[in-house]
């Protein structure tokens, strides 16, 4: 039920790009992305709906492949403030039971 | 507008006791979801309430229960606490569970 994210952890230098993948074994209605900094609550980044509608956030974008039941989060020109744990979350076609992914720890160093 | 407020922020309880956590959502939001976060299990869905009705429940034992009031405020109750219940409990508020959610700072529960 829980989406699987890859990689589990990544370290970047400032200015580098990163891709975080989220894969689900269940059909997806929508995919949500959140970032959680250490000791803080998760913060909403992005929602991707079935049919391609997307809401974005600054230099972060995402894709949603409904057939493959996968989503990818793209972080370009990473900044120190991008550090944190990224979670994808899925909503099924029916029902409202929300499942967060396994998480990806991202660290940006100077 | 005011964010999601969870109280208390920290709690220490003894095994066997019960605990009640509170969540006040953003004004106008009718959906409140609860999550348990632990280092080993990540973010686990507990349940979701919408307009005072529980719409969904995760895979947690019956010791975990909740309710939502007419003003959308929600409470979560855990009875007969076990050591494994030690976790950060997060509440999320949204207009509907299919839209973006806003999280509170969480309640850190420690069971000793």
List, as one string, the DSSP characters of B8-68: -SEEEE-TT--EEEEEE--TT--EEEEEEEETTTEEEEEEEEETTEEEEE-S--TTEEEEE
Q: Report the C-alpha gap between A83 and A76 in whole angstroms.
A: 13
- Average pLDDT for residues A83-103, to the nearest whole number? 83
- Average pLDDT for residues A34-53, to the nearest whole number? 84
Do B38 and B92 touch, CB atoms closer than 8 A?
no
- Average pLDDT for residues A62-83, to the nearest whole number? 90
List of chain B residues whose C-beta atoms are within 8 Å of the C-beta of residue A29: 98
The string of pLDDT tens digits covering residues B30-62 is 999 999 999 888 899 999 999 999 988 888 999
Q: Is the pLDDT of residue A57 over 90?
A: no
The answer to whether B50 faces chain A, any CB pair under 8 Å, is: yes
**Distance in Å, alpha carbon of A46 to nearest chain B alpha carbon:** 8
**Distance in Å, alpha carbon of A45 to nearest chain B alpha carbon:** 9
What pLDDT was estimated at residue B96? Answer: 76
Judged by CB atoms closer than 8 Å, whether chains meet at A87 and B104 is answered as: no
Neighbours of B56 (CB within 10 A): 16
- Work out the mean pLDDT of chain B and round it to a whole number: 93
Q: Report the C-alpha gap between A96 and B4 in whole angstroms.
A: 20
**Distance in Å, alpha carbon of B44 to nearest chain A alpha carbon:** 7
The answer to whether A43 faces chain B, any CB pair under 8 Å, is: yes
- Cross-chain CB nearest to A41 (options B57, B90, B97): B90
What pLDDT was estimated at residue A96? Answer: 64
Q: Report the C-alpha gap between B27 and B91 in whole angstroms.
A: 14
What pLDDT was estimated at residue A1? Answer: 74
What pLDDT was estimated at residue A66? Answer: 82
Q: Is the pLDDT of residue B85 over 90?
A: yes
The string of pLDDT tens digits covering residues A6-41 is 999 999 999 999 999 999 888 777 889 999 999 899
The answer to whether B101 faces chain A, any CB pair under 8 Å, is: yes
Lookup: tokens for A100: 């967060």
- Work out the mean pLDDT of chain A and round it to a whole number: 87
What pLDDT was estimated at residue B99? Answer: 79
Considering chain B, what percentage of its residues have pLDDT values greater than 90? 80
Do A66 and A50 touch, CB atoms closer than 8 A?
yes
* Sequence-ordered list of residues with C-beta below 8 angstroms from that of B30, at least 6 positions apart, any chain: B50, B51, B72, B95, B96
The string of pLDDT tens digits covering residues B58-75 is 889 999 999 999 999 999
> Of the ranges A86-95, B17-26, B96-105, which is most confident?
B17-26
Look at chain A and count its residues: 110
Do B66 and B46 touch, CB atoms closer than 8 A?
yes
- Cross-chain CB nearest to A103 (options B42, B50, B57): B42
Task: Name the residue with higher pLDDT: B27 or A27.
Answer: B27
List of chain A residues whose C-beta atoms are within 8 Å of the C-beta of residue B89: none
The answer to whether B94 faces chain A, any CB pair under 8 Å, is: no
Q: Is the pLDDT of residue B90 over 90?
A: yes
In chain A, the residue whose alpha carbon lies closest to the alpha carbon of B91 is: A41
Q: Is the pLDDT of residue A73 over 80?
A: yes
Q: Is the pLDDT of residue A53 over 60?
A: no
Q: Is the pLDDT of residue A64 over 90?
A: no
The answer to whether B102 faces chain A, any CB pair under 8 Å, is: yes
SS3 A80: helix
The answer to whether B45 faces chain A, any CB pair under 8 Å, is: yes
Neighbours of A93 (CB within 10 A): 10
List of chain A residues whose C-beta atoms are within 8 Å of the C-beta of residue B51: none
pLDDT bucket at B97, cuts 50 / 70 / 90: low
Write the burial class of residue B67 (CB in 10 Å: 0-12 exposed, 13-18 middle, 19+ buried): middle
């Amino acid at each position: 039920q829980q989406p699987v994210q890859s990689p589990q952890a990544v370290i970047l230098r400032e200015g580098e790009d990163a891709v975080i993948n989220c894969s689900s074994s269940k059909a997806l209605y929508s995919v949500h992305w959140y970032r959680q900094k250490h000791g803080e609550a998760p913060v909403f980044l992005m929602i991707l709906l079935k049919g391609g509608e997307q809401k974005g956030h600054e230099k972060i974008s995402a894709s949603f492949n409904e057939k493959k039941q996968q989503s990818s989060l793209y972080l370009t020109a990473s900044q120190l403030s991008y550090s944190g744990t990224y979670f994808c979350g899925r909503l099924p076609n029916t029902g409202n039971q929300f499942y967060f992914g396994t998480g990806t720890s991202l660290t940006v160093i100077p | 507008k005011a964010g999601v407020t969870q109280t208390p922020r920290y709690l220490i309880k003894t095994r066997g006791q019960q605990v009640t956590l509170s969540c006040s959502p953003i004004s106008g939001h009718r959906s409140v979801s609860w999550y348990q976060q632990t280092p080993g299990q990540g973010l686990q869905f507990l349940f979701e309430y919408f307009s005072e009705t529980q719409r969904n429940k995760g895979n947690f034992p019956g010791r975990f229960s909740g309710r939502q009031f007419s003003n959308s405020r929600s409470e979560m109750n855990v009875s007969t606490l076990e050591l494994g219940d030690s976790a950060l409990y997060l509440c999320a508020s949204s207009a509907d569970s299919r839209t973006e959610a806003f999280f509170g700072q969480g309640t850190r529960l420690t069971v000793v």
